[in-house]
Amino acid sequence: MNLSEPRDLASLIEAFLLASGKPQSLERLYELFEEPERPEPKVFRKALELLGKSCAGRAFELKEVATGYRLQIREVYAPWVGRLWEERPQRYSRALLETMALIAYRQPVTRGEIEDVRGVAVNSNIIKTLMEREWIRVVGYREVPGRPAMFATTKAFLDHFNLKSLEELPALVELRDLEPAPLLDEDDAPVPAHLQALADASSEEGSEGEAPLEETSFRSLLVELDAMEEGLKTDFDDLRAEVEDNNATG
């Protein structure tokens, strides 16, 4: 095998990605080669380009997400591929999806700030579930009485939802346009299909016990978020820098 030949290298990268079962960064892929045999970066890039093109017309695609590259089944086949698993995927509650959306679009955000927008207390199991999924993490503490924790999304969140960066989150106006008829106020009311599609087979334990008080409608939530979108952080380093600045001046 000639590793300086992009076509040969593309096949080898394909083998790496199929065997790994998770995204691999360019740095990690480089490390898989001994120094004398390591291809030039431009050859590597060309190989990835060829690999991506070779997936055209296939059931899978090469996708770059937050933590690297992976080979994955195309979304169009998901309804059928899902039948491979006998256990029926469990649905996330509307409360969890709203909380996750607030964190994604307004990060870093505290639990109290989430409650101010939603108009209802955040069930502790929702935060627990998101933390266990490694979709959110504590990035600092607000310099106010009580020093509440500030939450932000993780690269695992981006990977799970097939995103390379926060810039790829759908614009809030798009979510609002896609929303069907107004939702019920109950916590377990039907979730818009485009949001529910984001959820996988993982279960949310005990997060259904939250009783809404004067919970905002999902449309109202999107209107609230729309005003926040302009300041959305698109890079985790930028987000970390802001948190450090806030703590230093607090």
pLDDT tens profile 164-204: 988 888 876 565 554 444 444 444 445 555 555 555 444 34
The residue whose two tokens read 């969140």 is 157
The confidence score (pLDDT) of residue 79 equals 83
The predicted structure's pLDDT at residue 63? 93
What local confidence, expressed as pLDDT, does residue 98 receive? 87
Round to whole Å and give the CA distance between 195 and 123. Answer: 20
pLDDT for residue 202: 40
236 backbone φψ class: left, alpha, beta (φ>0; ψ -120 to 50): alpha
pLDDT score recorded for residue 139? 93
Question: Residue 197: its pLDDT value, please?
Answer: 54
> With contact defined as beta carbons under 8 Å apart, do 215 and 185 qualify?
yes
Low-confidence ranges of the chain (pLDDT < 70): 87-90, 172-250
Q: Which long-range contacts (CB under 8 A, 24 or more apart) does 73-82 make?
A: 75/162
Q: In this structure, are residues 219 and 179 in contact, taking their beta carbons and an 8 Å threshold?
A: yes
Cβ atoms 29, 23 nearer than 8 A: no
pLDDT, residue 195, reads 52
Peptide bond into 108 cis (omega under 30): yes
